[in-house]
Amino acid sequence: MTNNTQLMGPLGVNETPSDYFISGTIASGLIGGSLNYKKYKDNKISKEDAIKNTIKTSSQAGIAAGASIATVQYLSNKNYLGATLSLIAGAGCILAIEKYSK
């Protein structure tokens, strides 16, 4: 008989930036969605703006999470070119979303 103290099974270690992109997007979607829903209920923004803002900030936070984890992984392997490219790609994607979401 095994002694598993985790309620829903064992958790693995994520090693790909896409895992962190997904988790960052979900976390920021929950937070941003809740805040935008409150603004919508208080008649401060429209429903369309609340949805648009939630999608935009969730995407940007997911990219930031994925790029930052990738950068740290590259730095830990002393791959400075990979770290630099991860930062540039992440920042570029975030800026592109900001520019084209208007």
Has residue 31 been placed in a domain? yes
pLDDT, average across residues 67-74: 89
Has residue 50 been placed in a domain? yes
The domain total for the chain is: 1
| 3 secondary structure, DSSP code | -
For the segment 3-53, what is each residue's pLDDT rounded down to a tens digit?
Answer: 544 455 554 555 677 788 888 899 999 999 999 999 999 999 999 999 999
- Between CA 43 and CA 22 the distance in angstroms is 30
Has residue 70 been placed in a domain? yes
For the segment 71-102, what is each residue's pLDDT rounded down to a tens digit?
Answer: 988 898 899 999 999 999 999 999 999 999 87
Please give the residue range of the domain that contains residue 45: 17-100
- Between CA 72 and CA 30 the distance in angstroms is 25
Has residue 7 been placed in a domain? no
Q: Name every residue whose Cβ is closer than 8 Å to that of residue 59 and which is 6 or more positions away in sequence.
A: 25, 97
Distance from CA of residue 54 to its chain's centroid?
Answer: 12
**Is the whole model's pTM more than 0.85, yes or no?**
no
